[in-house]
Structure 1
Amino acid sequence: MRPQNRRRFRRGAAAVVVAAALLAGTVGLSAPAQAADVTDGLALWYKLDATSGTVAVDSSGNGRNGTVNGTAGWSGTGEGLTFNGSDTYIKVPDNIMSGMNSITVSMDVQIDAAQATPYFLYGFGNTSNGAGNGYLFTTGDTFRTAITSGAPSTEQNTRTSTALPRSVWKHVTYTQTGTTGVLYRDGVEVARNTSVTLTPGSIGSGTTTADYIGKSLFTNDKLFKGKMRDFRVYNRALTPAEVLMVSGNTTGIATVTDPSLKIAALIDDADSRITLPMKEGIDLTALAPQFTLAQGSSISPASGTPRDFTNPVTYQVTGSDGTKRTWTVSAQIMRSPVLPGLTADPNIVRFGDTYYIYPTTDGFAGWSGTQFKAYSSKDLVHWTDHGVILDLGPDIGWADSRAWAPTATAKNGKYYLYYSADTSIGVAVSDSPTGPFKDPLGKPLIARGAYAGQMIDPDVFTDDDGQSYLYFGNGHAYVVPLNDDMVSFDASKVTEITPSGYNEGSFVIKRKGTYYLMWSENDTRDENYRVAYATGTSPTGPWTKRGVILEKDLSLGIKGTGHHSVVQVPGTDDWYIAYHRFAIPGGDGTHRETTIDKLTFDTDGLIKKVVPTLSSIDPVSDGTTLPTNTTRSLRSVNFPGRYAVVRSDSLGYLDPVTSSSTTAVKQSATFTVVPGLADGSCYSFRDSSGRYLRHKDFRIRADASNGTALFNKDATYCARPGSATGSVSLESYNYPGRYIRHYNYELRLDTYQDNATFRADSYFTPVSPWA
């Protein structure tokens, strides 16, 4: 549990400066050491612990006393200065950031529940004609820090997607050095921007005359209402360990490092949980992560101790003040995002034997991207980038920006791409699912302003009778049947179907006679962006809302889960949901990434809550493809899509289908158990739905010395303990040592198996009947 009372070891009239305090937190100490305060680089330090007066005393020794304006609500040591939200603020001496290439601003703050917005916790910079003109500030709604050399439109933000909690004390720190700004809450990083191009000292060329605590640089903004204490400015960026130390979070963990981490560890300080997202192929049984703590704190087991992370493990951190806290640390193999870079609004669809994703190209301010790309996969895991398939600039004459939310479908031997551009909906046509796509209309299919709300986020659903329907809208949801040409519709048939909570991103599927309308709720910039759904009896409703099926999981750093699409594996009841989330780490509403998870139904046909994961899914197969790293199918090269005997290439045979003599084709491969899993690894023959199949006279051989046994459809076969190779082979009972014809068999090991393909290199004369 998180300690309720954290002794703030920096209190006292005089701080002792010790060089060791400036080092990153040493981990795994045999005993806690007395921590000294961090005073190196202090440019200003207002403890705000006076009992009266109008002076905010600078304890840094630099003589930068501040002036308290309005009503000064002093409360003495512990509770700081109360700002009444009406006239209280502190004027900091001019030019506080002059000469600074790096900076740290740190404070304890308690925001009053009645705080009006917008407001600044502090703002250093200049004001022109009542507006900020170059400044650095932090605010709590949404919790962010911004720096700019001019107007708000040029702000470079280090931001979270949530508000800083009110009515409780929180510690806030912002550090900036080089191109990186980092925002911390209670000593733990919550946001990072690695593209900061301004230095604090460059604002106003070092001259800043509107430097305030509790007051915005915009005259129409609200004053701060709440309490503040221990306000500091450093002329350098504190290390993560120093930030923990200054925050008083003595049992916190600032960072976790391990060479096998795929991204930075996900630290949930509130619940004392850490998730380690690991690269694929990593052995979780002997990880040795390193922990960064506050100076003087220790951890047990010691940092760097190898441990088995197959299941979550616990650590105990002892603060320099003797406070103890237990942390739960888990490791997960992270296979997401499934597409490279920043993408959003993924539309997943299957054409032929291939899956495709058509996403928004993300990462642009104001969602101002101009290009659409296509990605393809045989197994929903390994994706091929086919490059740009439509570029608004050269390919579309009526729009050149804000390329969003495409959706694709096939009909009439053509492929149709519907998309949002400049808040209108267009359509493009191609002979290939990977383009190039061309504009057949020379104008929007649905122009901006045609109906209430934004004309964005198209989705196409084709019913069993061949009728296609177009769904679209933001704020309002609409549906209209498409004409057979797929590029026109009867405007009189446009129907509004807006369900409660709807924002955007309509998507429709049909399963067992039931229609499912899904959509995204809240704003895509909100970490609470989520997917809800309704069921209906027709493509146009009426719809019965059922609830939310996909939302954030903060323990895994998963936020903003929405604007999804769903695909079914043909011939199965297996469904998968593709969606975007904030990029991990540091993403937001314009920095998103695409992932895929499983979507399932209960016995009543209702959608179960989707579990968002970092690991995503295993490769899938519908029996017509050979997926990678999971179940492999036994396939004949002579009968594509069917399973038949394969014979020696030196002999001919009688084709049982055509009754003609055919030259045989030789195929040589083996079933192989993953190294390390040979002892006791089990496998069985099943169809693509997992059912055991009927068959005759098969024997299974675990390895060359294990003999053979008649195959039993109800049995599971395991590699002989101690097997050197773990190899197995199929052989005929009637023709010992030879390989017999068979249909639709798969070799299944476990979720980690690899390299299971058919070995067939012997001659066999076909007999009838084949069974």
Structure 2
Amino acid sequence: MSRRTFTLLPALAAAATAAGQIPTPAWAANTAYVFAYFTETPNQSGADYGLHIAVSQDGLNWKPLNQNNAVVRPTAGTLGLRDPFLLRKQDGTFVVLATDLNGTDFGQNNQYLHVWDSVDLTSFTGYRRIRMHDLATHTWAPTAFWDAARGQYGIVYSANNGSDVFLVNYTSDFRTVSAPQVYFSPGFNVLDGDIVVDGGVYYFFYKNLGNGLIYGARSSTGAPNSYTTYTSGLRQGSSMEAPMLVKNNAGTGWWLWGDSFSPVNNDYYLWNSTNVGGNAWAVADQRTYTPPLNAKHGSIAGITAAEYNGLVSRWGLPAWVRLKSSNFPDRYVRHANNVGRIDAYPFDPHQDQLWKMVPGLADAAGVSFESVNLPGRYLRHYNYAIRLDASDGTAAFRGDATFYRVPGLADSSWSSFRSYNFPDRYLRHSNYLLRIDTLTSATYQDGTFRVV
């Protein structure tokens, strides 16, 4: 299945580039976003090393597709992938590149990348592995970009040639590649790059392994060894990696995502900037964004409205929801030992936070929350405390388990849930435990949640 070929740069493509015949980038018409990733959880019970995808209309809050199951899996090499990268090619179709690694054995050497073609991400064809080099090292975290001067795509990835560097191979078809060469080696060990071309400037964000910070470099040509680092180091939390640089579809601003180094921490962090060429990145309020469930080290690409609708139609939206706390936005409503509470994500079993929001058991105009991993059990109040119980079929239980969804008390774009049988009381958290209480303006945030 693998194929190793090193080819010369095509003069014809370079000539077309020089003549200004390169088509307009397809993302110019995009109105939505797609996120490719694999999954892990703290105890690895939710680990899945296939290709997962999620969609978003605002680029910040994500809906996993296919019930957060993989949409395609490698059939050669290690039979698993990490670090999938989506690239919109010059013809408007997609290519998917990924690390050939199944699990967390980072000590193994592998010279290959997984590759798929896709017209619109509703199907994946032409699976192959391409050999990138002959070194006794890894081939991790690919990113790719269109090099207009060469009239080819550059595939950049992390490897070790005595130190941790970025290598590049050039290709026209993601089947045959040029010989590898050093792309970026700043004199210290580096990992996990992402390249975005904007206005003729090549922006390259990467991790400095020495201090664990994310930096941005730029180049006017995108040529190997042409980058100059221009930002200060960035980090949220105790450790992070895998920067993802995304220009919003409106063309008015930028997002910089960073993946936590370990699945036991918050999975993604985010910064905003209106000027990618500057050195001013603001930490995003975690209330404003929600990564895909259990997502790790992925990539984001713009898609059209038709592609968004096609993806939803093909793969389906989740049959479950999560409830995100307004004033503790890293915490989600879950059950633990049959008690309702909010806990910081991620945790295991991760399914404890998944709910089927069904018509209210006492009034179909309301809602009830049925556990996904303990079907037949519902959140209900008992002496005002929320717990997870199996329905006993009584009117009292149905009333205890029914809530009316109303505009959020602290934020009308979010939601609050008023008790059916105690209409002056709302679902809220107190010391991270759930209960129903009467609320005042001082406690409105305790009773406000985002349904994601």
Alignment TM-score, normalising by the size of structure 1: 0.28
Structure showing the higher helix proportion among its residues: 2
Larger radius of gyration: 1
Higher relative contact order at CA 8 Å, sep ≥6: structure 1 or structure 2? 2
Structure showing the higher strand proportion among its residues: 2
Alignment TM-score, normalising by the size of structure 2: 0.47
